[in-house]
């Protein structure tokens, strides 16, 4: 073998000027090993020619025990992995194995790079990046660019539109795909989750073709996440979905409105009103959304099927529908959500608004319920005197309202108030001992 080829191969097979000679070196060298050696083949996905793949399989099968091979690839290689796995010759590390945990994030961002991040900030970074190593490194670059003092805010506001992440995804993931796959990704990124039937409805593709595209996305590790073992439902990595949504909105806004209309119709047929509502809002079909709310809105609120973002949409739609009853139910859900997450002042404002509406409409039954709910929010922040005033107002129409729920809620709130007052006296609450 020419010495020049040997030197070239040693410097890096990707730089070899005589590939045939370098290939001969690869084939012969392992059989002369006196000790264990690790051979690393990076960017294996670039080896696309079937004839080269067949030769590679024969070479791998002929490797002696002292030769260990590491294949680094973005795409699941067209190799007999199942056979090697069954023979116990294969160890696999996939995207899930490479994800950073919170302790590893702390070691990288805080210990190694000195960013002043709290545990809360680290958990936010973990949730946004889903442990994606490249995303974390890009986020680190974005934080460094703004300075250590602003690092926490930069990382908390991380999205798929953050410049460093957007440029990487645009060049390394999206631009490399054929047009049909790009169209598929932009359309299916419009929904929170998708199946083969839903993707087919959005794109007009057959089930067979949709499955082929999904298989390609999975083999290519294109930020797609199966949501069940049967691989019926999928979603995208959060940052990649945000990137795709921005790309679609910039490139094809009219088409995306049609995608949202199609998604709304599909979800409505499936009985998923919450999903349908969000797409109707995105498609600008507020009248249709109002009709849907009038039909199912109260039942949705009663069953707690509205998410916070959907509650915001519902309030906006209800205002446009001019239906006070629907508006009341949607705002009530939002107020209850705010109270549940400790945002009592915001909840109080909404309860006061609903008290005004029910008073104007003479809906005294609902008015009494909202008095009790507002009292509960006030009790949570220690405003016992104000809470008891609302409870007293709620008791006035009680004899004429045969509602066991209202009576039970009144009794429960009164008990909470009594416990809070008694607790204040036992602890010597300064607010309740102050001279009047």
Q: What is the pLDDT of residues 269-286, one digit of tens each?
A: 998 887 888 898 888 887
Q: Which residue has the higher pLDDT, 330 or 128?
A: 128
CB 330 within 8 A of CB 311: yes
pLDDT at 208 (0 to 100): 94
CB 358 within 8 A of CB 388: no
Whether 324 has a pLDDT exceeding 90, the answer reads: no
What is the C-alpha to C-alpha distance for residues 287 and 375, in angstroms, rounded to an integer? 35
How long, in residues, is the chain?
436
- Which tokens hold the place of 381? 């922040």
Q: Which residue has the higher pLDDT, 292 or 126?
A: 126
63-75 mean pLDDT: 84
What is the C-alpha to C-alpha distance for residues 199 and 236, in angstroms, rounded to an integer? 13
CB 75 within 8 A of CB 221: yes
Across the chain, what does the average pLDDT equal?
A: 79
Whether 2 has a pLDDT exceeding 60, the answer reads: no
Residue 153 Cα distances to 101, 120, 133, angstroms: 20, 12, 20
**pTM of the entire structure?**
0.64
pLDDT at 305 (0 to 100): 61
pLDDT at 30 (0 to 100): 62
What is the C-alpha to C-alpha distance for residues 207 and 317, in angstroms, rounded to an integer? 35
pLDDT at 152 (0 to 100): 78
pLDDT in tens, 78-114: 888 889 899 888 898 887 788 888 898 889 888 888 8
Residue owning tokens 């006070």: 324
Whether 3 has a pLDDT exceeding 70, the answer reads: no
CB 297 within 8 A of CB 333: no
- Which tokens hold the place of 324? 């006070």
- Which tokens hold the place of 299? 């039942």
User: Lowest mean pLDDT: which of 12-26, 126-140, 376-390?
Assistant: 12-26
Q: Which residues pair with 236 in a beta bridge?
A: 224
The string of DSSP letters for 109-137 reads: IIIIT-----HHHHHHHHHHHTT-HHHHH
- Which tokens hold the place of 108? 């990288």
Whether 357 has a pLDDT exceeding 50, the answer reads: yes
pLDDT at 6 (0 to 100): 42
Q: Is 195 helix (H, G, I), strand (E, B) or coil?
A: strand
Per-residue pLDDT band at 244 (split at 50, 70, 90): very high
User: Lowest mean pLDDT: which of 307-311, 344-348, 352-356?
Assistant: 307-311
Per-residue pLDDT band at 167 (split at 50, 70, 90): confident
């Amino acid at each position: 073998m020419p010495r020049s080829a040997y030197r070239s191969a040693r410097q890096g097979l990707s730089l070899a000027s005589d590939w045939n000679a370098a290939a001969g070196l690869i084939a012969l060298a392992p059989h002369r090993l006196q000790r264990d050696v690790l051979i690393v083949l990076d960017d294996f996905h670039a080896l696309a020619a079937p004839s080269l793949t067949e030769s590679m399989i024969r070479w791998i099968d002929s490797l002696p025990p002292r030769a260990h091979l590491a294949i680094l690839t973005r795409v699941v290689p067209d190799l007999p992995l199942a056979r090697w796995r069954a023979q116990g010759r294969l160890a696999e590390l996939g995207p899930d194995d490479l994800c950073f945990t919170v302790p590893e994030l702390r070691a990288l961002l805080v210990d190694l790079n000195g960013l002043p991040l709290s545990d809360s900030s680290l958990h936010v970074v973990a949730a946004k990046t889903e442990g994606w190593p490249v995303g974390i490194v890009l986020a680190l670059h974005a934080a460094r660019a703004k300075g250590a003092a602003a690092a926490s805010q930069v990382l908390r506001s991380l999205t798929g539109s953050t410049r460093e992440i957007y440029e990487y995804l645009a060049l390394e993931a999206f631009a490399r795909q054929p047009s049909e796959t790009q169209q598929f990704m932009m359309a299916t990124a419009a929904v929170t989750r998708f199946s083969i039937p839903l993707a087919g409805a959005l794109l007009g593709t057959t089930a067979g073709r949709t499955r082929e595209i999904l298989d390609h996305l999975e083999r290519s590790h294109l930020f797609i996440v199966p949501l069940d073992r049967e691989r019926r439902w999928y979603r995208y990595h959060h940052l990649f979905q945000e990137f795709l949504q921005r790309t679609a909105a910039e490139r094809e806004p009219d088409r995306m409105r049609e995608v949202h209309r199609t998604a709304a119709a599909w979800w409505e047929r499936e009985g998923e009103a919450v999903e349908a509502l969000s797409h109707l809002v995105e498609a600008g079909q507020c009248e249709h959304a109002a009709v849907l709310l009038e039909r199912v809105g109260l039942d949705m609120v009663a069953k707690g099927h509205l998410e916070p973002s959907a509650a915001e949409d519902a309030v906006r739609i209800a205002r446009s529908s001019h239906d006070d009853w629907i508006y009341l139910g949607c705002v009530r859900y939002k107020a209850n959500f705010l109270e549940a997450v400790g945002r009592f002042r915001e909840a109080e404002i909404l309860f006061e608004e609903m008290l005004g509406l029910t008073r104007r409409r003479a809906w005294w039954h609902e008015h009494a319920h909202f008095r009790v709910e507002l009292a509960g929010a006030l009790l949570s922040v220690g405003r016992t005197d104000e809470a008891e005033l609302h409870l007293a107002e709620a008791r006035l129409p009680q004899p004429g309202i045969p509602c066991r729920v209202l009576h039970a809620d009144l009794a429960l709130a009164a008990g909470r108030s009594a416990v809070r007052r008694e607790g204040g006296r036992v602890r010597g609450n300064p607010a309740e001992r102050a001279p009047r």
